[in-house]
Amino acid sequence: MKSCIRKASYDKRNDLLYLHLCNKTSDNSYGAEENDSFVVMRDMDSDEITGFTVFYPQRNRITVEKKLNDYGIEISITNYI
């Protein structure tokens, strides 16, 4: 399953990247830290992935891109930071 990014915002001071997916259907999401690189945001009702919070994307760019690809997100982090 491939997903697209609807919105992205980057917090340069803290080196955090927030990604919101196109399939987001609700504002009621919760975050689950699934590894040390990012938090997966999921819909409260359907458990569908709605986005990601990426920690230190500049430092871990290649690792993060590979892990996001496993979730169906084809991304070049450098386009968003």
* Whole-angstrom distance, CA of residue 4 vs CA of residue 49: 12
Q: Are 3 and 21 in contact (CB under 8 A)?
A: yes
* β pairing state of 16-21 and 5-11: antiparallel
Domain count, the chain: 1
pLDDT at 24: 61
The range of the structural domain enclosing residue 71 comes to 5-79
pLDDT digits (tens, 9 = 90+) for 10-62: 999 999 999 988 876 667 888 888 777 889 988 888 888 888 999 999 888 88
Tokens representing 8 are 């992205």
pLDDT at 80: 80
